[in-house]
Amino acid sequence: MRSFDAEVIVLGLGVHGSAAAAALARRGIDVIAIDRFAPGHRRGSSHGRTRMIRRAYPDPVWNDLVLRAFDGWRALEEESGAQLVHRTGGLYAHRGEAQLQGPGCVVVEDPAEMADLMPGLAVPDGYRAVHDPSAGVIEAEQAMAAFHGVAAERGADVRWNTVVDGWDSTGDGVSVRTDAGDLRARRLIVAGGSWMGGLVPELAPLLEVWRILTLTVPADQPIGEPPNLGAFSVDHPDGLVFGVPDAAGNGVKLGIDAGPLWDPETPVEAQTDAETARLQELLGGFVPGLDTTSVESAACLYTMTADRRFIIGPLRRAPQVIVASACSGHGFKFGPAIGEALADIATGVMRDDLAFISTTRREL
């Protein structure tokens, strides 16, 4: 049998594969990291300047992973010398009972208090909210560059524009077929984003891919900046509306957690004028006083599970293959923590703390 080309192959260099490649390289593990497109491509789920980070989560089971994520971003900031997270505070408004909780988060019922906390946000009448003082904005583009930089500096063999056509588990490892030849490794991490259903067929029934649209208005509008505006979300009949404030000249971004099914093999369609006008109207409604005439529109992909929980861990039929489907519209913030978790699992470290998002939980 041919010798191994690497200890671990990482398939996919979105935020999760990139974080895993960096984590493995930091540990001196021999890793080959592969992506079918070029750095900064806009075909998947990790592109765009910003992402929201928050501690406010629906279930306390997330709290430990959220805290690990915050620690992970701080460590990457020290390592890269770049400021990657801007703390702005967050307000999450909803109808009915509180939907979120978290370390340091408080329920706010008084509209006057909501206005004090976030003067720029127009919370609909009769809504309650959860205030998360630690929420903020991740410099997503810089974060991706930081992970790639660490991985390369620490010796990872990073291969862009290389398509993985498939993989086979062999008794002692994995054989990976690419359009640049076959590779062998002891472990394979599959972090293929919206393509996971094709790369790992047993995941396909559990995943849906949605086309998601965002709108960003230019920077330098004080109403869109902290302390007037922080990270926010508002329950809306069209779906959960989320907003990322202008923390460092990136502009104010708004999107809706809803969209049509999409085939990731088809480049995601740009926004229509009607779609953009809809988002402008929403943004103008939630942040009155913000000039929404000139906008930058974008489209991106969510990979959804029905319960919005991730799927992470080894496969029962091939334990040397570790999958990471961590999206459902909220995966980016966990990048550093998921990268470390994948490196742990690939090097034999048990992560029972991840049972709530494990492959075992889904009998995979």
Binding region for ligand FAD (CB under 6 A):
11-17, 34-37, 43-46, 51-52, 163-164, 191-195, 212, 214, 255, 300-302, 326-327, 329-333
| Phi then psi dihedrals of residue 328, to 5 deg | 55, 30
By C-beta, is 111 or 299 nearer to ligand FAD? 299
Minimum CB distance to ligand FAD, residue 270 (Å): 13
Query: Shortest gap between Cβ of 219 and ligand FAD (angstroms)?
Result: 18
**Residue 110 Cβ vs ligand FAD, minimum distance, rounded to whole Å:** 27
C-alpha span between 353 and 246 (Å, rounded): 35
Shortest spacing between CB 298 and ligand FAD, in angstroms: 7
Q: How far is the CB of 301 from ligand FAD (least distance, A)?
A: 6
Q: Could you tell me if 45 and 224 are in contact, meaning their C-beta atoms sit under 8 angstroms apart?
A: no
Helical segments of 88-127, H only: 111-117
**Is 125 or 191 the residue whose CB approaches ligand FAD more closely?**
191
Nearer to ligand FAD, 36 or 112 (CB): 36
* Three-state SS letters, 134-149: CCEEEEHHHHHHHHHH
The SS3 assignment for 252 reads strand
Q: In this complex, which beta carbon is closest to ligand FAD, that of residue 96 or of residue 260?
A: 260
Contact in structure between 325 and 305 (CB atoms under 8 Å): yes
Residues 139, 85: contact at Cβ < 8 Å?
A: yes
- Contact assessment for residue 204 and residue 325, using Cβ atoms and an 8 Å cutoff: no
Q: Output phi, psi for 208, to 5 deg.
A: -125, 145
Count of positions (residues) in the chain? 364
Q: Is the dihedral of CA 353, 94, 248, 329 positive or negative?
A: positive
Closest-by-Cβ residue to ligand FAD is 14
> At closest approach, how far in Å is the CB of 3 from ligand FAD?
23
Give the 3-state secondary structure of residue 179: strand
Specify the residue, 61 or 115, whose C-beta has the smaller distance to ligand FAD. Answer: 61
Q: Which is nearer to ligand FAD, 102 or 192 (CB)?
A: 192
Cβ proximity to ligand FAD, 28 vs 58, nearer residue: 58
Task: State the nearest-atom distance from the C-beta of 48 to ligand FAD, in Å.
Answer: 6
Q: Min. distance of Cβ 309 from ligand FAD in angstroms?
A: 12
The owner of tokens 């470390």 is: 340
Nearest residue (CB) to ligand FAD, 33 versus 129: 33
Which residue from 286, 289, 330 is spatially nearest to 127, judged by alpha carbons? 286
CB atoms within 10 A of CB 272: 11
Kindly report the number of other CB atoms within 10 A of residue 152's CB atom: 15
Do 173 and 185 meet the contact criterion of CB atoms below 8 Å apart? yes
Q: Closest separation between CB of residue 176 and ligand FAD, Å? A: 9
222/267 with CB nearer ligand FAD = 267
From CA 217, how far away is CA 294, in angstroms rounded?
6
Least CB distance to ligand FAD at residue 213 (A): 7
Angle at 89 between CA 83 and CA 93, to 5 degrees: 140
Identity of the amino acid at 33: A
Q: Which of 360, 349, 236 is nearest to 309 (CA)?
A: 360
Residue among 11 and 22 whose Cβ is closer to ligand FAD: 11
